[in-house]
Amino acid sequence: MTNIDESLVAENKPAQSKLIGLAPLMRIAFSGGDLKPLGKELIAYAEKHPHDAHALMNLATVLILLGHRDAALSTQMEALRLQPLYSVPTTREPTLRLLALMTDGDLMANTPLEFLVEDSDIALDLLYVGAGIPAVEQLPPHDVMFVAVGEADDKNSLLLDLQEIIQTWPTPVLNAPERITHLGRDRACALLQDAPGVAMPTSARISRQTLEQIGSGEVAVSSILGGDDFPIIARPLGSHAGHGLRKVLSAEDVPDYLQAVPSEEFYIARFVDYRTLADGQFRKYRIILIDGKPFISHMGISKHWMIHYLNAGMTDSAEKRDEEARFMQSFDEDFVPRHATAFAEIFKRLDLDYVGIDCGETQDGKLLIFEVDSDMIVHAMDPVDMFPYKQEPMKKLFAAFRDLLIKTARMSPAYQG
């Protein structure tokens, strides 16, 4: 049995009466716990109670965390057809009610608000919208609405529809949907690459055929990337977490890449060598802009250019963790002032209340933008004994998000907080 609250799985009814929520389930997975027993219980229960939306939603989350994406998304849609509105469990008396507009999809489909308000005085309701999901007859009471739907090709029309809807929304709204559509790699690049203090190589969206023509020499990559040439980085459209992301050194290497990655569309951009000259290691930062102010979530250090925090070896190196601790402690006094102009310009151009930035620094001191997104995961799940220094920075980030909610709610005369 997992360490989920026993009241949720009592009487042989696994979590059927409540939503367990993403945060508790992901904590189990993140800490190496086994979700398979709970998954089996939920499957057995759902077979007997196929109309229990909460059990299906819990099962969908478990399946996603276990890596069964197709089954998870199918189960999730079954739940959403039955019920589009869910309340995240809370243990404290709420002082503010937050409604999140969500959509169907995996962990990258929506802003993971559950981690931002976990164990807080913010009550969170999740209202799912999109094709095949029924509308609710009445909105739940709420003080602020947050558009949590992330940028994706198949969600941009939904976001534009939501932009029309929010014009008459009864409460203040955070993260305008139309602005989220600008977070695609090519559109974000067009917005940000000439911003002062920012380095962001041209990112182009191309077809498989065009990439084949680059490989055969029929098309020069420089003609697509505004003069930039090999080496380039290539990734399939819609990919995350490094899936299909490769550095391609020359046109001769393109056929091998295409053989390994069966996608029909790609993003390509010039590769930037952002190693720190002193030690030859790459450093990548995840920073969240909340109401225009930057907050650090983590820093990964690796000898390889493609850094993800989980593959950077941070748990294996006390030296790396010591450096991350020093970086986080000095973030507001060192990194932020050095890049203040860049952060201010990014906030102005993106025009989003909450957005994440995955970035590094170029060797000449500019902020090197890899990606901007509203759905990046930030959390406080790292083991405290190994990462004690992360607690305060994450508390600051969560507190800033709460402050944003309170500030926004106070724009409405109806708010009683």
Written in H, E and C, the secondary structure of the chain is: CCCCCHHHHHHHCCCCCCCCCHHHHHHHHHCCCCCHHHHHHHHHHHHHCCCCHHHHHHHHHHHHHCCCHHHHHHHHHHHHHHCCEEECCCCCCCCEEEEEEECCCCCCCECCHHHHHCCCCEEEEEEECCCCCCCCCCCCCCCEEEECECCCHHHHHHHHHHHHHHHHCCCCEECCHHHHHHHCHHHHHHHHCCCCCEECCCEEEEEHHHHHHHHHCCCCHHHHCCCCCCCEEEEECCCCCCCCCEEECCHHHHHHHHHHCCCCEEEEEECCCCCCCCCCCEEEEEEEEECCEEEEEEEEEECCCCCCHHHCCHHHCHHHHHHHHHHHHHHHHHHHHHCHHHHHHHHHHHCCCEEEEEEEECCCCCEEEEEEECCCCCCCCCCCCCCHHHHHHHHHHHHHHHHHHHHHHCCCCCCCC
Two tokens at 102? 């969500």
Two tokens at 98? 């937050």
Indicate the pTM of the whole model: 0.93
Where do the CATH 3.30.470 domains begin and end in the chain? 282-389+404-408
Give the per-residue pLDDT at 221.
96
Give the per-residue pLDDT at 308.
83
> Are the CB atoms for 315 and 416 separated by under 8 Å?
no
> Are the CB atoms for 383 and 367 separated by under 8 Å?
no
Beta strand 198-199 pairing with 367-373: parallel
Where do the CATH 3.30.1490.20 domains begin and end in the chain? 202-270
Per-residue pLDDT of the chain (417 residues), as tens digits, is 333 443 343 334 444 558 999 999 999 999 999 999 999 999 999 999 999 999 999 999 999 999 999 999 999 999 999 999 999 998 889 999 999 999 999 999 999 999 999 999 999 999 999 999 999 999 999 999 999 999 999 999 999 999 999 999 999 999 999 999 999 999 999 999 999 999 999 999 999 999 999 999 999 999 999 999 999 999 998 776 668 899 999 999 999 999 999 999 999 999 999 999 999 999 999 999 999 999 999 999 999 999 988 788 999 999 999 999 999 999 999 999 999 999 999 999 999 999 999 999 999 999 999 999 999 999 999 999 999 999 999 999 999 999 999 999 999 888 887
- CATH homologous superfamily of 202-270 equals ATP-grasp fold, A domain (3.30.1490.20)
Give the per-residue pLDDT at 55.
95
Q: Is 3.30.470 the CATH classification of the domain at 282-389+404-408?
A: yes
Two tokens at 221? 């990559």
